[in-house]
Structure 1
Amino acid sequence: MRWLRTSIFVSVTALLSVCLDYALGSSASEGHANALIDALSPEAKVYFPNSTEFSTLTSRWSSLAEPIVNVAVVPATEDDVVKIVQYANKANLPILAFNGAHAAITTLGRMHGGIEIYLGQLSSVNIAPDNKTVTVGGGTLSKNVTDTLWSAGKETVTGTCECVSVLGPGLGGGHGWLQGHYGLVTDQFVSMNVVLADGTLQTIDADSDLWWGMKGAGQNFGIVTSLTSKIYDRSQTDWAIETLIFDGDNVEALYQAANDHFSNIPVDLINWSYWLNIPTADPNKPIILFYIIQEGVTSVDPTYTKPFHDIGPISVEADSGTYKDLAAWVQIAVDSAPCQKAGLAHPRFPAYIKEYNISAQKLAYEAYAANVSGDSPFSSSIYMFEGYPVQGVQAIDGDSAAFAFRSDNILTAPLITYTPAGKELDDQAAELGNRLREIIHQGTGSNELHTYVNYAYGDETPQNWYGYEQWRQDRLKALKNKYDPEGRFSFFAPVQ
């Protein structure tokens, strides 16, 4: 592969110098290009603006407040990541690791020129000989892990969406289908290799003071190049779903029934719902798409579905399959629309709640329908309500990780989707998303707004992301000052 390295060097050295001139000023020279390229392994790749590869690697799922990068580097080894960080430190260039690129948080837009580290080549899944752990590369997507483990009769908690990485959601906590059994994605962590801000590669585990921070606020402290996680014998083969569509007029009855029957959701059950426009079901206002998913059966138990049938859905569709079908059933598989990068803006405005406040649900629906119906620029938006079993999450000591909101039961988030058309429309989307979130938050009766950092918009506070307890904030700041005193990793939901 030496020819590849030589080819890259010959064809792009001049362009790299231009890019680094832009980032560094007049002091950059061809020597900078030599230093970076020569430091990398032969299989590493370097791409620059105006190339197809650069456009592909730098495109994000949400086009709002995108980071600006001058060079996209694709490491082939963990040591490549070390060399890139060391180079960036010496050249005083900002760095940002990319994985599935699905985070839509606006704080990423604070990166104005620098090096993108695209982790896609660090993709691997290796089950340990004792069948108790799996080691994955830092760029491995969730689907690769679940498929590999399934074939081996194993399972673990990954994010629900197939096109995101394991570590993307995991470093921020990470909700998943199996969390009722085992806890969050982050609760499965055993050890990890992480490149720290000083350019060193360290293996850390529960013996490190940094371990606590990596489990819920990990994007603030380094770039994880490999991860070892717990795995388990596959508990069930069969899964089933019922998909019910309701008229928006049923919002109060529907969520009252959800409170009545799913307030302590069984460990084998998941309840999601979406508010969205489906003109063939209702041409005038958003419908409610309501999912009831059950593990270990070929059809969902009527005990769970009858109360919702009695409300009178527009339609009911049942399906059965395996764990590998779940993402497609709820429209977040690799080939589903939400996994595509189409140049749209996708800001989210998350809020955790313990149960549905029926009046707040009604008010939120009315405000949502008024703003996304008809020819609204936000007509492709979705309001998401994710109800997972929480037994495994709440069985783990809440002080054991930076993830702070184990006592909450339901994750809500309006996802305001639109074609970017300037600041005025961006501001309208932010106003709408925050207004909808505030309606739901006020329904909790709490002064504290708890948000899921992986869905965050970017105008929240560290308390909203990482917990209101002062000791949590102090501990995160102390870790930041120790491991990243110059704030190299501060573009994603910074702790300070």
Structure 2
Amino acid sequence: MRYSGFLTLMSLWLAEDSQASAAMSTTNLLSILSRGNWSTGTVLSAPGSTDFTDATARWDVYRPPNYAAALSIHSEQDLITAVKLSTANNISFLATGGRHGYSITFGNLQNGLALDLSPLDTVAVDAAAGTLTIGPGVTFGDVMDPVYEAGYQIQTGTCTCVEMIGATIGGGIGRLQGTYGLVIDGLLSARVVTAAGEVLEVSENFNADLFWGIRGAGANLGILTSATYQLHPLTGNYTSIDLIFPASRNVTYFTALENFNTSAHWAIETEILYNADINGPEIIASYVYEGDQEEALKLLAPILDVGPSFINVTEVPWNELSAIAAFATDAEVCENGSIYDIYGVNLRTLTAATWIETEGQSSSVVFESWANEAVVAVADEKTAYPWRDTTTYVMLQFVWSTSDSSVEAPSIAMAQKVRDTLIETSGYDDLAVYVNYANGDEALEEMYGARKLPRLAELKKKYDPSNVFRYSNPLPTAYS
């Protein structure tokens, strides 16, 4: 084990009285954790050190968790030790890999322990079996080349920097879900460290109840140390078509989109945003088709007839799709350290009037209209994920600089207003939200679905009765 942060601790001990309690918390935490028999490579660090910064850096810094120490985990056994030490000593902790979650509930952790899982980054492709096994530090981008080179592809999220297991346990939506289903639908098995520090193998045949629960509410039930997925043979290239429409075409465009045939082969992302160069809103769209360019453009004629002011068409292999699609902004949007106050809304029905009404009312409004044929083909009771009939996932993004907190309250008020507008024509009776897109202010039923909650509460009581895993849109241990 390496230890980082001695100088930081010395400076904390000499700090003013207002910081003394934080120093004592860090001191006590490091004292307790030093009892662990850690593997070579595991790093214990304190605030102010480079190791601590690396172990806690986040994509979104809006209402973030606060840590008194960090432990970068090098082995499954080290994770087990960390969980047991933490629970035995009443230490609050949060285990993360990519740290791309943005629920405000993460901010409920203050002066806690960061369990950094990013060193657990193994990627293993079994070409003969057609499976992929990964650790919790692996991102979507990490798997694409190894999977592709073995002659396979797999459903993923849209951004390469997002941790794959973290996205999976909330459901895992993405461009290929129309063909292969959600990412959880490709999950074959996993290893889960429970609140008691036990390691359980979970699958359809082993601990099937927990396997059901982690596929939609996994952040509440344990820490996955590995996950195995089903791969799919490569099908050929994809066509990425990026379009820009002036705001004046909003009615025509959204009407055409409402009537567009979004078959299993299409993944459509439309964003309404403010463009400072033109001092007004504009519409940008990313269309991805599972097939060649000629066929894609022929099918896209109703959208192209609207008259985009910009068009870019690229045919790409599967492993380059995330990096190239959506104006090749993947690297840009993956940068850490920005403020994102995000609200999600699921739509079961597509209504042009609703899209038009949201225009210009936030920093950006993203509509992800992923085909869902393979998603709804999976029986609803098979997994904890509750929203298989969703056709469009909406993300309201409010962004501001750290020096301009004056916009926070107006942004929240606007977000709630726009969200209420979207609910009215969503096709659901009330708010439904993909839990990975949840702001954290939603009701349990709005994230997990009322019909799933009784069973989820039973699982929470069985596997986490003390509510150790309580910082990611927490579940109760009882529900009626």
Considering the TM-score relative to the shorter chain, is it more than 0.5? Answer: yes
**Structure 2 SS opposite 1:216:** helix
- Measure the CA separation in 2 of the matches of 1:410 and 1:9: 45
Partner of 1:275: 272
Please give the residue correspondences for 1:415-430 in structure 2 after superposition, counting only pairs within 5 Å. Answer: 415-421=397-403, 424-430=406-412
**Structure 1 SS opposite 2:311:** strand
Pair 1:351-2:349 in alignment: no
- Measure the CA separation in 1 of the matches of 2:290 and 2:442: 35
Contact 2:63 2:106 in 1 (8 A): yes
Number of aligned residues? 469
Pair 1:402-2:384 in alignment: yes
Pair 1:322-2:304 in alignment: no
CA distance 1:386–1:453, change in 2 (3 Å): same
Partner of 1:449: 431
- Measure the CA separation in 2 of the matches of 1:326 and 1:64: 29
**Structure 2 SS opposite 1:53:** helix
CA distance 1:92–1:232, change in 2 (3 Å): same
Please give the residue correspondences for 1:371-382 in structure 2 after superposition, counting only pairs within 5 Å. Answer: 381-382=363-364
Partner of 1:307: 302
Question: After the TM superposition, which of the residue ranges 300-309 and 193-202 deviates more from structure 2?
Answer: 300-309
**Structure 1 SS opposite 2:242:** strand
Query: What amino acid sits opposite 2:445 in the alignment?
Result: Q
1:216-270 CA distance string (max 9 Å, x none): 000001111111111121122x1112211111122221111112123xx222211
- Measure the CA separation in 1 of the matches of 2:228 and 2:250: 43
CA distance 1:214–1:385, change in 2 (3 Å): same
**Structure 2 SS opposite 1:100:** coil
Identity, % of aligned pairs?
A: 26
- Measure the CA separation in 2 of the matches of 1:392 and 1:174: 13
Pair 1:142-2:122 in alignment: no
Contact 2:346 2:426 in 1 (8 A): no
- Measure the CA separation in 1 of the matches of 2:171 and 2:109: 24
Query: What amino acid sits opposite 2:471 in the alignment?
Result: F
CA distance 1:23–1:478, change in 2 (3 Å): farther
- Measure the CA separation in 1 of the matches of 2:26 and 2:133: 44
CA distance 1:300–1:428, change in 2 (3 Å): farther
**Structure 2 SS opposite 1:350:** strand
Q: Return 5+ residue gaps in structure 1 as ranges.
A: 373-380
Pair 1:250-2:249 in alignment: yes
- Measure the CA separation in 2 of the matches of 1:127 and 1:284: 49
Measure how far apart 1:13 and its partner are.
11
Contact 2:44 2:69 in 1 (8 A): yes
Query: What amino acid sits opposite 1:186 in the alignment?
Result: I
Pair 1:477-2:457 in alignment: yes
**Structure 1 SS opposite 2:259:** helix
Contact 1:24 1:93 in 2 (8 A): no
Contact 2:4 2:51 in 1 (8 A): no
Measure how far apart 1:397 and its partner are.
0.4
Measure how far apart 1:305 and its partner are.
2.1
Pair 1:387-2:362 in alignment: no
- Measure the CA separation in 2 of the matches of 1:30 and 1:273: 47
CA distance 1:246–1:402, change in 2 (3 Å): same
- Measure the CA separation in 1 of the matches of 2:312 and 2:276: 18
Contact 1:331 1:337 in 2 (8 A): no
Query: What amino acid sits opposite 2:351 in the alignment?
Result: N
TM-score by length of 2: 0.91
Partner of 1:437: 419
Partner of 2:259: 260
- Measure the CA separation in 2 of the matches of 1:355 and 1:30: 52
Contact 1:240 1:300 in 2 (8 A): no
Query: What amino acid sits opposite 1:351 in the alignment?
Result: V
Measure how far apart 1:441 and its partner are.
1.3
- Measure the CA separation in 1 of the matches of 2:307 and 2:258: 17
Contact 1:196 1:222 in 2 (8 A): yes
Measure how far apart 1:215 and its partner are.
0.3
CA distance 1:330–1:414, change in 2 (3 Å): farther
- Measure the CA separation in 2 of the matches of 1:226 and 1:473: 26
Query: What amino acid sits opposite 1:266 in the alignment?
Result: S
Contact 1:351 1:450 in 2 (8 A): yes
Measure how far apart 1:147 and its partner are.
1.6
CA distance 1:271–1:331, change in 2 (3 Å): closer
- Measure the CA separation in 1 of the matches of 2:75 and 2:327: 30
Q: Which of 53, 74, 77 is 1:76 aligned to?
A: 74
Partner of 2:158: 160
Partner of 1:468: 450
- Measure the CA separation in 2 of the matches of 1:204 and 1:287: 47
CA distance 1:160–1:31, change in 2 (3 Å): closer
Measure how far apart 1:123 and its partner are.
0.5
- Measure the CA separation in 2 of the matches of 1:405 and 1:26: 42
Query: What amino acid sits opposite 1:108 in the alignment?
Result: F
Measure how far apart 1:427 and its partner are.
2.2
Partner of 1:378: none
- Measure the CA separation in 1 of the matches of 2:294 and 2:431: 37
Contact 2:4 2:46 in 1 (8 A): no
Contact 2:252 2:306 in 1 (8 A): yes
Partner of 1:377: none
Partner of 2:173: 175
**Structure 1 SS opposite 2:411:** helix
Pair 1:8-2:8 in alignment: no
Contact 1:64 1:347 in 2 (8 A): yes
- Measure the CA separation in 2 of the matches of 1:29 and 1:225: 24
Question: After the TM superposition, which of the residue ranges 447-456 and 306-315 deviates more from structure 2?
Answer: 306-315
Query: What amino acid sits opposite 1:475 in the alignment?
Result: R
Question: After the TM superposition, which of the residue ranges 54-63 and 409-418 deviates more from structure 2?
Answer: 54-63
Query: What amino acid sits opposite 2:256 in the alignment?
Result: A
Measure how far apart 1:53 and its partner are.
2.4
Q: Which of 105, 111, 114 is 1:113 aligned to?
A: 111
Question: After the TM superposition, which of the residue ranges 20-29 and 354-363 deviates more from structure 2?
Answer: 20-29
Contact 2:344 2:434 in 1 (8 A): yes
**Structure 2 SS opposite 1:355:** coil
Contact 1:466 1:473 in 2 (8 A): yes
1:414-440 CA distance string (max 9 Å, x none): 111111347653222222222222211
Measure how far apart 1:289 and its partner are.
0.5
Partner of 1:296: 291
- Measure the CA separation in 2 of the matches of 1:332 and 1:400: 36
1:340-375 CA distance string (max 9 Å, x none): 01x321121111112322222221115x1xxx5xxx
Partner of 2:16: none
Contact 1:140 1:165 in 2 (8 A): yes
Query: What amino acid sits opposite 1:361 in the alignment?
Result: W
- Measure the CA separation in 1 of the matches of 2:328 and 2:24: 41
Partner of 1:227: 227
Contact 1:242 1:300 in 2 (8 A): no
TM-score by length of 1: 0.88
- Measure the CA separation in 2 of the matches of 1:445 and 1:305: 26
